[in-house]
Structure 1
Amino acid sequence: MYRGIKLSRLIILLAAFFLLTLCSGIGTAAEIYVQPGDSIQTAVDNSVSGDVILLKPGTYTENVNVNKDNLVISSESGNPDDTIIVAASSSDHVITLQANNVEISGLGITGAMDSYAGIYLSECNNCVLEYNKILNNGYGVYLLLSKGNTLSSNVISSNGVSGLFVCPRSDNNLVFNNYFNNTVNANIKNGAGNAYNIMKTEGVNIVGGPCLGGNFWAEPDGTGFSETAVDANEDGIADFAYRFADSICSDELPLVSVPEPEKPILSVTGFQIDNTSRNNSTSINEDNSDESTTDVSPEPARNVESEEISETFITDDKEVKFDFERNETCVAYLTFNSKKTVGKTTAVVEMLKANSSLVSEPLSDEVYRYFNIWIGDGEYATPANIENPVVCFKVEKSWLEDKNINWNSIKLNTYSAGEWKELPVNLTGEDNNFLYFTAQPLEFPFFAITGKSEGGIVGGSADSQPSGSDARGFNVENSGTINNANVEIALEKKATAPGFETIYGLSSLLVLFLYRKMKP
């Protein structure tokens, strides 16, 4: 009998020890915060199943390989416009997934070229990609031997080879409520059980329509299926299915634009891709009682901090000047000579919160402001129509001092043919708060004002140094080294999570209690 008691006690102790061991794994999952300059890869490598990796707003230049299951990698803000991963090597996927049950959410993803993808899924099951903005890669999303994954509420645009690729052995994947705008939107090699829509359900879709169903299929030239399809009952769903080329698959409930004027901004939890009326910061310098102002900008409204509009009458061989007198933006005026008479014309300056969503290339220097200038119908401002253009812009003296930037390093950058071009500038004047510069741009409409931080005399005016402000926008620059300190601190905090110690202590007390109770 005594032997039986000892055996029972041994069994109970082993069970308690097993419980203790099991509990030691509880509470170790954590939120790991990564900041610009830190390494996302380091956070992934040091994570455990169940961890949530949150990226602070900013730009991260690296290629990330995720090979651990049950992770969430997301922007803290939920906004892909302010949290961007740019490929360090364009000859690799921006994000490679080789794991199951991984969620990628709220990120801007760009920079892979040719046969490489923004997000590449290889033998992945049950992963979720949502609320991302995947632009200017070879492929947007590439599925290889992957099953049961869900892609929803993503903007997949301007990818050179294809927006979406699905290999013939990728099965049971669900793709719905995404906005596609690529020359080739989808290369679907069939597969079993893949679906490109859900059942028609009431709810605001990615282009502002009243129903959820399939995806919005646009093309860069404006002739995409969703842009031209018939929607007789105006429910935001096309009357006919969208059939994929060279595939048996189709989107049975493709989205279409809702009728004007109800059409809202394309919205993906804080992300917007289409244009809409601006906020009250818009100003018009001349009488706007008529409706001659034409809103031609495709810039997402969410990315526009403020704008100012000016109108004038353009005639042949006369100098044209648009004054922006209300100081809503960083542009003071714009002049040029017109080669033809076009009549009353509007110029719009948009001062942006970040790099234009229509531009993918980063700038290495410190960015003061990104801005767009749209003239007329958006296609007028070309060398065929204008000559001798001059843009006068202003830079805060306080920003120069705060960033330790020599005013001599200020440049105006213009974006054309897939790259930024640096323009020389002339310092033309100053007041108490600003330095004024002019430059002669060769291209419109995308601009950025940059400067370089230098030793010695910096800042404020041609004669003095001013004080303190901050620039806003994407600053896609790499310090040259990756700092893992913040990631490591987060991991240390994870290892000492209070929930773990509490459970461990309670389990230890339980073992002690059982041992004393069973002691003969």
Structure 2
Amino acid sequence: MELYGSDNTVTNNIVTGNYYGIYVYYSDNNTITGNTINNNSDNGIHMRTATNNQISENTLNANDQGIHLSLSSNNNTLINNTINDSSDVGFYILSSINNTVAENTLYNNSAYGMYIVSSSHYNTLSNNNINGGDTAGINMDSSTYNTLSGNEVNGDSYGIRLIAAMNSTLTNNNATSDSGTGIYLSYSSNSTLTSNNASDNSGTGIYLSGSVNCVLTDNIVRDNGFYGINMQTDSNNNTLTYNTVSNNSNYGLRLQDSDYCTLADNIVSNNSQSGILLFMSNHNELTNNTVFENTNSGIHLSNSANCTLLDNQVNNSDEYNTGYRYLYLGTSPDNVVTSLLVNDGMAELGFTSNSSYSSIGWASELEYPHPTGKTGINGNYWITTPINMDAEFFYNDTDMNSTTEADIELYVKPLSSSEWNEVAGSSLDTDNNSVSATLTMSGYYALVVSDGSSSGDDDDSPGDSSSGSSTTRSSSSSSSRTSVSPGQDSSIVTSTVTSVKRIISGSEIDYEFSGSDTPVLGVSFDAKDDEGLVVAKVEVLSEAPSGVSQHSSKAYQMMSINVGSEGTISSGNADNIQIRFKVSKGWIEQNNIDITTIRMTRYHDDQWNDLPTYQESEDGEYIYLYAETPGFSIFGVVGDEITASSDQVPASASITEEVAEPVAEKETKDTPGFTALAGVVFVSLVVLTRKNKNLRER
């Protein structure tokens, strides 16, 4: 069947046993729908220089190629067709632009499911289901500015393969269960991969070769038979953020011969080799990545120089830790490591690497106890061959008085010795919460204080964010111990705490921050969706971010609280979202705050929104509360000053929900004024009970 004119409709035909099933040549604005096209020796539907055609709901079986577009067959729509058992290609697009290929089903096509080649630009491939191509499910070659979204591609050799396909956009595709690589980019620069799932493939999840200036964000890459994400052969200037890379059978995230890349806010876990490997890759930045439970090393640099590692958290359980390392540097000089958090964030280390081989690990205090008369602050570091390594060991001074802090020392137990000794030339900086030293020997390093040192809190107020006063942790620009969320001004972030949880539908999630130096004690919710491993982060802010107004009430603390990337957790996919926090009674008294007005407030939709806030308990120093929130963003803890007309409850007074009733004594002539006194007690109890009720209902 041949079409040469325009505005034709071809419907409900059975076309079989020809060279071409339907041939459309220089023919426009046709509708071809509902046809069955089988066993033709060349193409089921062949379109040449044909534009603005609608090809839909056709079934094409056992042709050489199912549907073929060539030589400026532009602006066509191909939707909801079924193509199977082609001896070559299901869809073939040659030198044709602006076509929409959507909601088609392709299976068991011999070579390729879809093949887009030779300057086929600006095409959109969306929501197609492709299975069983020997070479690739979707293959793009020498074609640019194409968009692939929502496609299900599985059971092929390559799921999605791009060769010289620059400026491509891949979003929400599932490239899974392929016998080779899930998503493959070769010399396909300036491409963007967002929210794709490249998992359960026999080879690598996502592979880049010779591709520069690409952005990979929020992709899930797990359970692959080789690497999770692999970039090599001058794949420079790429940015990888918020990706989850886990349970892969080799390295989780690997760079080889790839420079000036940025790896930030990724979760890399449970991979069978190192979590992150940089091999012969220089000038890269690794920031705020969470790397845990990987075999071999958490982060591994080999022959890689001039990299920056900032605020990365590395942790391994004992099951993975024996004989392995959190950080390994092999012939990798001049790398700046700032705020390396290890052992669930318990300890923090910074240094600049030299050309020697160095390993950073963690050792149990039970296995390697500290010297007699000394108590460890945050456990033992295991450091090998740190030849003249300038290092900083950080500590948390929360609940530590000045006497204890002044007593902090750095000790080392050489690997070849059982004796602990103070590290010569070490220097304590209480403003920066660190001890600096030049390390010259392999061994176990620990920050210690003398036994019997008391601890307390010299200042129980974390500061008034509206006045910009600082917290107990240093917020000077010289300190780099805070990690910063994308878009957040680092100069106003005074401290950070993170926690990682696997979010499974139907589970109760509780991020615990009670050991941190932030007012936030925890974040909890009931998950309704599977989200995988998700990082929760609390950033304490010294002032309001740009564009955020000050709250009209007195501010106790301002914070940024996020669980995953924006929108990962909200009232749409979680119930009972709560933030637990504490407020210092010292701040309440110093600022004459009406305790019943203390609440958490959230900045959303360009305004402050007070959240329902409830008191849980109190002790001598703090009151403990929780707030209910529909989502995460910028938060403040605020309160109002006592006025002449307010019924004030002092911070020192108990406002617990149960108020013990006094033991009544019968009034007699020997107890004058008892009735009046009982009335005063009764009124006081009523005021306290009402105050607490108001707080619960806020």
Higher alpha-carbon Rg:
2
TM range (shorter): 0.3 to 0.5
Asked which structure has the greater RCO (Cα within 8 Å, sep 6+), the reply is 1
Structure showing the higher helix proportion among its residues: 1
**TM-score after normalising by structure 2:** 0.28
**TM-score after normalising by structure 1:** 0.37
Structure showing the higher strand proportion among its residues: 2
